[in-house]
Structure 1
Amino acid sequence: MMIASRLKHHLEAQGLPFGTVRHPYTATSAECAESAHVPGDHLAKSVLIHMEEGPVLAVLPSNQTVDLHALQSMMDRRLGLAPEYELNQVFDDCDPGAAPCVGQAYHVPTVIDDRLTGLDKVWFEAGDHKTLVEMKGNDFDTLMKDAKHGSFCIMH
């Protein structure tokens, strides 16, 4: 698949430069960072969060875990992890478990952890388990400018 069609269209529409990095199949973000030889704190992973109003996409470094209590306080909403079927419905042009962190491409509100801001480079899932999108950090910051920013993760 390489890069999911909606993600590719959105990135091209933003006019921001990006590249792709191929790597052997991986099932987890930790394996992905290792396999692609990228630092885990620069690999953005996505966690779909379920709220009564609809899903929201939490974006955080791959070497971190969502602190649901902190996110709940930040969003001032009751929330929980979205079930897998909801993830598959939202990201229907992606392989299961390979959701890109660009919620805007999928019309999903996004919240991003501050640890991913101001980096030199950022990588994220392209929609399959073998491809990452690579961007300069300032381009990634521009891409994520409409996301809500905060601190909501803990080291795992």
Structure 2
Amino acid sequence: MEDVMAISQRLRGYMDRCGTRFDEWPHEHSSEMARAAQAAHVPGRQVAKAVLVQAGDEYMLAVLPSSKHVSFNFLQQWLARDVSLAEEHTAAALFPDCELGAIPPVGAAYGLKTIIDDDMLMDQDVWFEGGDHHTLVHMNAENWRRLQKGAGHFAFSI
């Protein structure tokens, strides 16, 4: 497998264009968000995870706390269409500069719509994987909201 930058170039470029300020928090390799949160000494509710879903004929990112799960029933009701988990090969094609399972929760950087769970708009600080399993991106709430401008939000996690 070829080396992947800590923060994907596409995400870094988008964050720069949005004028967001952020820190990089290296940690030991972890393919589980809960372990990444533990390694950074961050509560799971403040670590955003991205779940690539297919809603009808469109792909979008559902962003929620790493300590929670997507309620596909809530998503289907809110979007008024069938919603399912996207396949891994689709995620690899849409996020070619990211490791599998380390999708950044910023759909706009990849031309995708983003839906944010309301719980991700509550805390002062947010952490998330920026494309690999070795680094968390950290930013305050103001920068997080700037990065997510235009994203829809409602309560869809359980």
The TM tier, using the shorter chain, reads: over 0.9
Tell me, in whole angstroms, the C-alpha distance in 1 between the residues paired with 2:132 and 2:20.
Answer: 21
Residue from 120, 129, 133 that aligns with 1:116:
120
Q: Which amino acid aligns with 2:49?
A: K
Does residue 136 in structure 1 map to residue 132 in structure 2?
Answer: no
SS of structure 2 residue aligned to 1:65: coil
One-letter identity of the residue aligned with 1:67: S
The answer to whether the 8 Å contact 1:49/1:56 transfers is: yes
Percentage identity across paired residues of the two chains: 40
Runs of 4+ with >6 A deviation? none
Structure 2 contact 18–146 (Cα < 8 Å) conserved:
no
Secondary structure of residue in 2 paired with 1:64: coil
1:53, distance to aligned residue in structure 2 (A): 2.4
Which of 24, 30, 43 aligns to 1:20? It is 24
- In structure 2, the partner of 1:50 is 54
1:149 maps to which of 149, 153, 156: 153
Cα distance, 1:54 vs structure 2: 1.8
Q: In 2, Cα distance between the equivalents of 1:77 and 1:29? A: 28
Question: Structure 2 CA distance, aligned partners of 1:118 and 1:81?
Answer: 25
Q: 1:77 aligns with which of 78, 81, 84?
A: 81
Provide the TM-score with structure 1 as the length reference.
0.96
Structure 2: where are the runs of 5+ without partners?
none
Aligned partner of 1:67 in structure 2 is 71
Structure 1 position 142, deviation (Å): 1.9
Letter paired with 1:133: V
- Select which of 106, 126, 129 maps to 1:125: 129
Secondary structure at 2:90 match in 1: helix
Contact 1:119/1:138 (8 A) holds in 2: no
Match of 2:101 in 1: 97
Check conservation: 1:118, 1:138, Cα contact below 8 A. Answer: no
8 Å Cα contact 1:3-1:127 kept in structure 2 = yes
Q: Which runs of 5+ in 1 are unaligned?
A: none
Q: State the Cα distance separating 1:52 from its structure 2 match.
A: 2.8
Question: Aligned-residue CA RMSD in angstroms?
Answer: 0.8
| Stretch of structure 1 that moved more, 30-39 or 100-109 | 30-39
